[in-house]
């Protein structure tokens, strides 16, 4: 996560239609980041749920 640019998607989780459900962040990474880095990014995003996904995860 050394690159300052991380693709981020804001999604509605657990919903059946738009603008319902719970907001969640999904970050696409090239590889796993450090625990500290991923926690800091999740804190910066400010959503109650943030998922990190990388190839093979």
pLDDT digit string (tens) for 23-56? 999 999 999 999 999 999 999 999 989 999 999 8
Per-residue pLDDT reduced to its tens digit, 9-19: 999 888 888 88
Residue 5 DSSP SS3? coil
Establish whether 49 is a catalytic residue: yes
User: Looking at 49, 50, 56, 57, which residue is catalytic?
Assistant: 49
The residue behind tokens 């990014």 is 41
Distances (CA, A) of 54 to 21, 28, 29, 35: 25, 6, 5, 14
Sheet holding 50-53, edge to edge: 8-13, 22-28, 50-53
């Amino acid at each position: 996560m050394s690159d300052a640019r991380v693709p981020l998607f804001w999604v509605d989780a657990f919903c059946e239609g738009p603008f319902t459900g719970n907001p969640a962040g999904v970050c696409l990474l090239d590889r796993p980041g450090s625990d500290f880095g991923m926690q800091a990014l999740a804190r910066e995003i400010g959503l109650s749920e943030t998922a990190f996904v990388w190839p093979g995860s």
